[in-house]
A = this chain, B = another copy of it.
Amino acid sequence: MIRKIKNIFIEGAISPKTIAESIGHHQHKTKIGAHNIFLGQVRADQINGKTISAIDYSAQKEIANQLCHEIREAAFSKHDLSCMHIYHSLGTVKAGEICFFVFVSSSHRPPVFESLSEIVNDIKEKLPIFGKELFEDKSHQWKVNQ
């Protein structure tokens, strides 16, 4: 099966409503028995007495979508997955809001548990996405992934 390259980017935060709709769309897929969802949420970290109020995300979208496509295809080859949905925010996402959503489904548990952390870690490591951490006093620093 050849799958199209999808656009993973959503402007602004990913709302709980969007996530609920995505879950609801699987009700007619009655071969699915297990879903596993990862959500990244913006933390209000304190750094030298200043608090992060939001992250402003940008990306090289063409490359990010292409690499995400490759990560997706590799996961489908390796694991017995029914479907996979990946979204990442662009622009401003406030502390407490969700910026990253990875959703895998399968008939049974093992494939969703085995695949999800791999996919999440690969995306964070390989996709050219850049987070600018905004402090409450309007200063900023550039996010560093550990």
Contacts and interface: CB of A to CB of B under 8 A. Distances in A.
Interface in A79-114: 95-98, 105, 107-109, 112-113
Does more than half of chain A's interface fall in helix, strand or loop, or is it mixed? mixed
Given A20-B17, A96-B29, A109-B120, A40 B34 contact: yes
Contacts of A146: 108
Nearest to A33: B43
A84 to B, nearest CB: 15
Given A38-B112, A113-B117, 14 more contacts: A19-B20, A19-B23, A26-B41, A28-B96, A32-B41, A32-B43, A33-B40, A35-B39, A35-B40, A35-B98, A36-B36, A36-B39, A37-B38, A41-B105
